[in-house]
Amino acid sequence: MRLWHKFAIGSVAGIVLAGAALFALDAADKAFPPPLDKADLVSAEVLDADGQLLRAFATSEGRWRLKTTVADVDPQFLRMLVAYEDQRFYEHGGIDAWALGRAATQFIRNGRIVSGASTLSMQVARLIEPRAGRSLSAKLLQLARAVQIERRLSKEQILDLYLTHAPYGGNLEGVRAASLAYFGKEPRRLTVAEAALLVALPQLPERRRPDRNLKAAQEARKRVLERAAVAEAVGDGEAERAEGVAIPPRRMQLPALAAHVGEAALRKEPAVLKHQTTLKKQVQQGLESVARAAAMKLGPKLSLAMVMADAQTGAIVGEVGSADYFDASRSGWIDMTRVNRSPGSTLKPFIYGLAFEQGLVSQETIIEDRPADFFGYRPRNFDMSYQGDVTVREALQLSLNVPAVKLLDAVGPSRLMVRFRRAEVRPVLPPDETPGLAIGLGGVGITLKDLVQLYTALANRGQPARLGDGITGTPGKLDGEPLLEPVAVWNVADILSGVIPPAGAPQRGIAYKTGTSYGYRDAWSVGYDGRYVLGVWVGRPDNSAVPGLTGYGTAAPILFEGFAKSGISTTPLPRPPAGAVRIAQSELPISQRRFALNASGLLVASGREPAPQIVYPPEGAHIDLGAGAGDLSPLMLKLQGGRAPFRWLANGKPLPDLSRRRTQQWLPDGGGYSKLTVIDSAGRAASVGVFID
């Protein structure tokens, strides 16, 4: 009975002492937690729209330390890592007692360290809290930290820390940084040879760096592949085959794309570690390669910028802010996609679009290209010559200045600026000036990004898109009225798609326009297909003149090369909308055969006040409005001459309202023949008969 009593007292005392010890350990654990917060110091990353790495920024310590998780690496690499470094990783609590005993026995027998007993948890402890020496106290602290880490983190989280912080020589840390530097790829898919090298390097990273000691790297990889547990993890014969694979002898540069976008992202949200952009890596790589090649041909001090956008979504898929971000001679740090410059002739398509929309001209209308005086403003062509009588189609394709100014005078500069505001673009006028005729030839300031935003309307049936900033902006189609009506947009695209490509450039089915600013300071080219718009600017950031610089000769070849190297397949231009047709000159109404204005600003065929005349649709036209599908679209009606207001009648029935505009929409009741009539305020009338299909 006494013996039992002593045993009971001893047991209670043991429990109390054990509890006290555990309490003391728990208190110490809480008082001196592992510095896991240091593990959060990783490189900031800029990603493309699909999550691919565009560029990374070194940490404040100058390290390339890319955050890596188990999901980011090849599962076979993880199996090889555990097999080589810590076979009982998933069973122990931070310390492998069996491995410790084995290592101690080997040390006693051999008088030296034969094998280590460091677990992955202990290695993580050393990585996040490095010690200069390898003393016994440092080792004991490492053991304690391993236990603390195991108490706080899951096995997967511990692996995440190892994969992020493992040293690979120089300033490379983590498996992702090493895989990108030595293999040029993310570690999601690794060969056995690649995985074995990444397992081997962290033990002695400086001595085994392939770029400095290739032989040591080969021997270290061989030891990994010869480990029985590793051979079992990779399968029969795979380890032997991997030994014969060459090791990359040099270190590659980590991805460094989209320098200006990356810097802007970091400035915008400096605390964020992963910055998602709307860019596409393949497109960005292609445009940057074109920019580098073009810069070599352009010569010193010239820079260039490129913006490629999806006209349907508004997403910027590629952006190059300068020829070379690090080239001081070209002021490469300046993002020229955001700088206001004179756009030259690149705004002319919108002038012609307004003229088409208002029924002033058709593609085959004759317009004069001769010296003209607009109240003291005397525009001249780029080559100082004049073509005489040309068609509107030829005038736009040849980018003749006098015809463009004549049409702008007819449609009104202020109206053009109002249309630009529909696309949320506000070109900058000279101080204290109102919109004048000079804006048609580049007399405003506009950024390359805004110019591309305007052209998204031409690629998207008149509806512009908001591009955002490529980082956290909100791209998308803009609500509200279109910049131009679909038929006018089609006419512009039909003309621009017929412009001859620059010498040596392939025909890619794109519509494009070039521009050269006054004094040869800026060269532009903007092109589009049915989905994407690409804009190119070339010039000097200091706005100096560059003799011989032209949009067609300098910027257009870069545009075509950019489309080719972007990796994006050409999307056909939109099909003609209902009512869009190219009318031969002989079939045009008399008032549209030649463009001329009287003192009242009305289109005339002679010196008399013109009677109203329906210029669209033409007499006898067959117009596809979807009658066969049972879902009719409205028909745009256009007239010239006459005196406002106007009353329209369809099949003898008046449309609801009088209109002072020379355009009107009419929704037919069904298909078949219809007669359209317009009556002006003087009682004069004009009629046409059309067939609705």
Provide the pLDDT confidence category of residue 117 given band limits of 50, 70 and 90. low
Cα gap 460→462, rounded to integer Å: 6
The whole-number pLDDT of residue 109 equals 60
85 a catalytic residue: yes
Question: Measured at the alpha carbon of residue 379, what is the angle toward residues 374 and 383, in degrees to the nearest 5?
Answer: 160
Where is average pLDDT lowest: 55-64, 133-142, 192-201, 437-446? 133-142
Tokens coding 136: 């016994």
Taking only the tens place, the pLDDT of each residue in 224-248 is: 999 988 988 888 788 889 999 999 9
Residue 144 has pLDDT above 70, yes or no: yes
Cα gap 224→206, rounded to integer Å: 17
The CATH number of the domain covering residues in 318-566: 3.40.710.10
The whole-number pLDDT of residue 669 equals 85
The whole-number pLDDT of residue 75 equals 96
The whole-number pLDDT of residue 81 equals 96
Burial class (CB in 10 A: 0-12, 13-18, 19+), 401: buried
Q: What is the pTM of this model?
A: 0.81
Cα gap 164→127, rounded to integer Å: 10
The neighbour count for residue 539, using CB atoms within 10 Å, is 29
What is residue 608's three-state secondary structure?
coil
Domains of the chain by residue range: 1-32, 36-244, 318-566, 613-692
The whole-number pLDDT of residue 665 equals 87
Q: In terms of pLDDT, which residue wins out, 364 or 685? A: 364
Q: In terms of pLDDT, which residue wins out, 104 or 477? A: 477
Cα gap 306→308, rounded to integer Å: 7
**Mean confidence (pLDDT) of the chain:** 88
Average pLDDT of the segment spanning 31-37 = 81
Rounded alpha-carbon distances, angstroms, from residue 470 to 316, 345, 406 = 5, 27, 38
Where is average pLDDT lowest: 336-350, 570-584, 671-685? 671-685
Provide the pLDDT confidence category of residue 59 given band limits of 50, 70 and 90. very high
Helix, strand, coil in percent for the chain, rounding step 5 = 40, 15, 45
Q: What's 36-244's CATH class?
A: mainly alpha
Residue 27 has pLDDT above 70, yes or no: no
Contact 342, 443 (CB under 8 A): yes
Helix ranges restricted to H, 519-625: 556-565
Average pLDDT of the segment spanning 112-129 = 78
User: Cα torsion at 434, 438, 441, 445 (round to 10°)?
Assistant: -30
Provide the pLDDT confidence category of residue 37 given band limits of 50, 70 and 90. confident
The CATH number fitting domain 613-692, selected from 2.20.70, 2.60.40, 2.40.128, 3.40.50: 2.60.40
Candidates 303, 345, 517, 591; catalytic one: 345
Q: In terms of pLDDT, which residue wins out, 107 or 157? A: 157
Taking only the tens place, the pLDDT of each residue in 71-94 is: 999 999 999 999 999 999 999 988
Q: In terms of pLDDT, which residue wins out, 230 or 1? A: 230
Where is average pLDDT lowest: 12-21, 83-92, 469-478? 12-21
Q: Which residue has the tokens 């997967």?
A: 156
Residue 460 has pLDDT above 90, yes or no: yes
The whole-number pLDDT of residue 237 equals 84
Residue 47 has pLDDT above 50, yes or no: yes
Provide the pLDDT confidence category of residue 635 given band limits of 50, 70 and 90. confident
Residue 653 has pLDDT above 70, yes or no: yes
The whole-number pLDDT of residue 7 equals 41
Taking only the tens place, the pLDDT of each residue in 176-193 is: 999 999 999 999 999 999
Q: Provide CB contacts within 8 A for 474, sequence distance 6+.
A: 466, 468
Residue 31 has pLDDT above 80, yes or no: no
The whole-number pLDDT of residue 103 equals 57
485 a catalytic residue: no
The whole-number pLDDT of residue 536 equals 98
Provide the pLDDT confidence category of residue 385 given band limits of 50, 70 and 90. confident
DSSP state of 27: H
Q: What are phi and psi of 646, to 5 degrees?
A: -120, 145
Where is average pLDDT lowest: 128-142, 233-247, 612-626? 128-142
Average pLDDT of the segment spanning 409-422 = 93
Average pLDDT of the segment spanning 96-108 = 64
Cα gap 99→117, rounded to integer Å: 5
Provide the pLDDT confidence category of residue 14 given band limits of 50, 70 and 90. very low
Contact 152, 37 (CB under 8 A): no
User: Cα torsion at 656, 662, 668, 674 (round to 10°)?
Assistant: 110
Query: What percent of the chain stands above pLDDT 70?
Result: 90
The whole-number pLDDT of residue 182 equals 96
Residue type, 104: A
Residue 218 has pLDDT above 90, yes or no: yes
Average pLDDT of the segment spanning 25-52 = 83
Average pLDDT of the segment spanning 420-424 = 95
The whole-number pLDDT of residue 25 equals 52
**Rg of the chain, C-alpha, whole Å:** 36
Contact 262, 276 (CB under 8 A): no
Taking every pair of Cα atoms in the chain, the longest distance, rounded to a whole number of angstroms, is: 136
Provide the pLDDT confidence category of residue 481 given band limits of 50, 70 and 90. confident
The neighbour count for residue 389, using CB atoms within 10 Å, is 11
